[in-house]
Structure 1
Amino acid sequence: TTIPLVLGLIFGLVFFLFPHSYVSFYNLESGISAEAAGYLRIISLGIPIIFLILNFSGIYIGSGRSDIPFYFNAAGLLCNIILDPLLIFGMDPFPEMGVRGASLATLLSQGVVLILFIRHLRRKNGLLGRFRFLIRPHRKYTLNILKLGLPVAAMNVYFAFINMNLARTASVYGGYLGITSQSIGGQIEGITWNTSNGFSTALGSFVAQNYAASKMQRANRAFRYTLLMMGALGVVVTVAFVWLGEEIFSLFVQEREAYLAGGDYLMILGFSQLFMMLEITTQGMFNGLGKTTPPAIISIFFNTLRIPLAIFLGARIGVSGVWWAITITSLFKGSILFIWYLTLRRKN
């Protein structure tokens, strides 16, 4: 808990002090840039909270209580849904706050989730015997945590950096429609991405427990079952995105040009959903075995490849080329990581 809190404070301070430096990367209009910087400055106050929420979620999931993070995060989501219209558009007694209202709603909702976690952990019969939240870091444990966590953290941070560059490339070849397609389309795709991540995290915890107990047959069986479930979901999502992309996007954006462009995004990304889930599920298996480096290598290499590929294809077929760059690299990531796991399994 001490490590994520310190990291959260560092990141939060950076974004709070230098929001304009980050926002200027996208070359937005001055008015939009100012609103984005204001949004980021408020959101930065919640970055330590996000780090703690993820930390507590990991503790519960690792202890076999994945239901608790689900309930608490669902409560935060419900709170955000209620607060968003109240603070954005204004309803008595709340004033109209626009973009700043959206950021404040998110911040307050995250605070609710954190309070729920702390109250549950501080109960007399709480998880792990009401352990202390803040301690002086022990060198041995800190190094072990960094050894396991740094490859995954580096992969996720780098992935965010790549997405920033892809958004900038999308704005070059698609203008505001490119940004809209990626931002809203990414949120829609996030439903499947987050579902896969949830199962991957649960799989990693289960595999780690059975690997430590020398029960690899159970771990492998869990991997197969998870692959089947994620495969079934991947097929459903692929069909929905490819055939109903415009209809799905129009639920969130009513402008015809926007939902047509967004439908194109979902259609192209739809072909990669099955392979994305294969990658994320296999990553969970590797993490459970304590081998976090292979997924990081595959992810970093092919995510890096997305930028030159997006520029190359975008210059020839427009913003659709950016989406095809994402899909093509996802196909390779899922396939190669799965083959890597099968090769490692045969050797051992």
Structure 2
Amino acid sequence: MMQYVKDLTHGSIRGQLVRLALPVMGSSFVQMAYSFTDMAWVGSLGSKSVAAIGAVGVLTWTSNSLALINKVGAEVNVSQCIGAQRMDKAQAYASHNLTLALLISVVWTTLIWTCAVPLIGIFGMESDVTQLSVEYLRVVSTAFPFIFMSAAFTGIYNASGHTQVPFYVNGIGLALNMLLDPLFILGFGMGTLGAAWATWISQVTVCLMFFYVLMRRRRLFERFRILVPLRLPYVPLIFKVGLPVALLNIFFSLISLFMGRTASAEGGYLGVMTLTAGGQLEAIAWYTSQGFSTALSTFVAQNYAAGCTERIRKAFKMTLGITAAIGAGCTALFYGGGEWIFSLITSEPDAYRAGGLFLKIDSYSMIFMMLEITTQGVFYGTGRTVPPALVSITGNVLRIPLALLLGHWGWGIAGVWWAVSMSSILKGCVLFGWLVLRRHVLLTGSTLRPRSGLLS
């Protein structure tokens, strides 16, 4: 069965990392483009429609975070089984992740649909805007089962070394979404609901394409079943690996909400604009390094199970060198050209000067952010997702008291930006230090063994 997957335990390390990372980066940018496309076309309907979709953003972020349970669960467990030459177990983990993704998504969709009104009511918007948000959320929520399944499919293909498949499939989905948005929103006069249905059709199409590719075009497993009866020890090990990553992202979205309120209190609408727009600019660097981190995770998982210790060490050093170079480039660009970058977004002097200050302060943390993300890849590959989650959640939570303290000391809006930057520096140092202290378990030794129970 190994001819269906890529064996990463032999061959050029650098070449394998780059070939794995580039499609993952492309897939990440495709996902970013979905929200940009919807927002661009909805913007023509007016600020109320934009606010309606924006209010749903936190809930869709939370939903995508929950989908990481099975995406990461597949990436780690399936790839470790492949590295150990246990394709029967790899197939079982793939099927269990897909089954769990469907079950979790159905429960989550039911909850969101039932509680849509009180959830949107939290934002305290006008009644007509609230109604638009509720209608949009209920349509989009019915696509969650397909989104969760697609995330699990992505994890399976990443684990097998075929990261280009999710990139191609998601790219087709984006193209379809870009065609349907103007047709439904303006052509059919459906307004905000047009954007919801365009997203729904695109996500369903993506899921069906994954199903077709896995079952017909590029079969990774023989006699593969999408849905199976859930059995031990698969389910607990999937949650053990995937749940910490999901919680990490959920907490990050909640912290971002509070930081947005703090930025508004210190800098008004310019503070909120700077935080949101600056976050999108920072995300470009984040997604680039995340592509290499995901590639490293898959590489480490296969070689960890195969006991190829030296290849893990070399891969980590190579990946760290690449991401450090990316971080250094972002540091130079953000420090020296922050105002110019923001002037491409807005022509208001006060706005691009505020944005320039954010990027200048944020530039100090770029290399440390790369350090954290790269180190995550090693932990994830060995199935230890709890340490990165603990470090990230703790560091992000610290942003709140730090921002309040610096604001109390009279730092103003700059104190909020320094809270973000300093916490990123802290997270990178702590997680890397954790890796160094645990290197005898993670990166050294003549024989590495998968986590207890994985192959039993």
The answer to whether TM tops 0.5 is: yes
Structure-2 residue corresponding to 1:241: 334
Q: Matches of 1:115 and 1:250 in 2, distance apart?
A: 41
User: Which one is further off, 4-13 or 64-73?
Assistant: 4-13
> Which of residues 144, 161, 169 is equivalent to 2:237?
144
Q: Matches of 2:386 and 2:203 in 1, distance apart?
A: 31
Q: Matches of 1:269 and 1:346 in 2, distance apart?
A: 34
Indicate yes or no: 2:372 matched with 1:279. Answer: yes
Structure-1 residue corresponding to 2:87: none
1:187 Cα offset (Å) = 2.4
Distance change >3 Å, CA 240–CA 18, structure 1 → 2: farther
Structure-1 residue corresponding to 2:414: 320
Distance change >3 Å, CA 76–CA 162, structure 1 → 2: same
Q: Matches of 2:364 and 2:124 in 1, distance apart?
A: 31
Structure-2 residue corresponding to 1:190: 283
Listed as ranges, the matches of 1:1-348 within 5 Å are 1-26=98-123, 33-88=130-185, 90=186, 92=187, 94-95=188-189, 97=191, 99-123=192-216, 125-129=218-222, 131-253=224-346, 257-315=350-408, 316-346=410-440
SS across alignment from 2:438: helix
User: Which one is further off, 196-205 or 324-333?
Assistant: 196-205
User: Which one is further off, 331-340 or 130-139?
Assistant: 130-139
Q: Matches of 1:256 and 1:31 in 2, distance apart?
A: 34
**Contact in 2 for aligned 1:123/1:130 (Cα 8 Å):** no
1:199 Cα offset (Å) = 1.6
**Contact in 2 for aligned 1:223/1:285 (Cα 8 Å):** yes
**Contact in 2 for aligned 1:26/1:168 (Cα 8 Å):** no
Q: Matches of 2:218 and 2:250 in 1, distance apart?
A: 36
SS across alignment from 1:132: coil
1:46 Cα offset (Å) = 2.6
1:254 Cα offset (Å) = 5.0
User: Which one is further off, 167-176 or 54-63?
Assistant: 167-176
SS across alignment from 2:307: coil
What per-residue deviation string (whole Å, max 9, x for no partner) do you get for residues 228-267 of structure 1? 1111111222222223333333444455544443333333
Q: Matches of 2:367 and 2:395 in 1, distance apart?
A: 17
Q: Matches of 1:55 and 1:278 in 2, distance apart?
A: 27
1:318 Cα offset (Å) = 2.8
1:295 Cα offset (Å) = 0.9
Structure 1 runs, 4 residues or longer, greater than 6 Å off = none
Q: Matches of 2:345 and 2:194 in 1, distance apart?
A: 19
Distance change >3 Å, CA 9–CA 116, structure 1 → 2: same
SS across alignment from 2:221: helix
Q: Matches of 1:176 and 1:35 in 2, distance apart?
A: 23
Distance change >3 Å, CA 47–CA 195, structure 1 → 2: farther
SS across alignment from 1:72: helix
Give the TM-score, by structure 2 length.
0.69
1:10 Cα offset (Å) = 2.4
Q: Matches of 2:206 and 2:317 in 1, distance apart?
A: 33
What per-residue deviation string (whole Å, max 9, x for no partner) do you get for residues 290-309 of structure 1? 22221111112111111111
Distance change >3 Å, CA 145–CA 29, structure 1 → 2: same
Q: Any stretches of 5+ residues in structure 2 without a counterpart?
A: 1-97, 445-456
Alpha-carbon RMSD? 2.5
Give the TM-score, by structure 1 length.
0.88
State the identity as a percent.
Answer: 44
**Contact in 2 for aligned 1:269/1:327 (Cα 8 Å):** yes
SS across alignment from 1:285: helix
Q: Any stretches of 5+ residues in structure 1 without a counterpart?
A: none
Distance change >3 Å, CA 42–CA 304, structure 1 → 2: same
**Contact in 2 for aligned 1:122/1:130 (Cα 8 Å):** no
Q: Matches of 1:19 and 1:281 in 2, distance apart?
A: 37
What per-residue deviation string (whole Å, max 9, x for no partner) do you get for residues 175-207 of structure 1? 333333333332222222222222211111110
Q: Matches of 1:261 and 1:96 in 2, distance apart?
A: 37
Higher relative CO (CA 8 A, sep ≥ 6), structure 1 or 2?
2
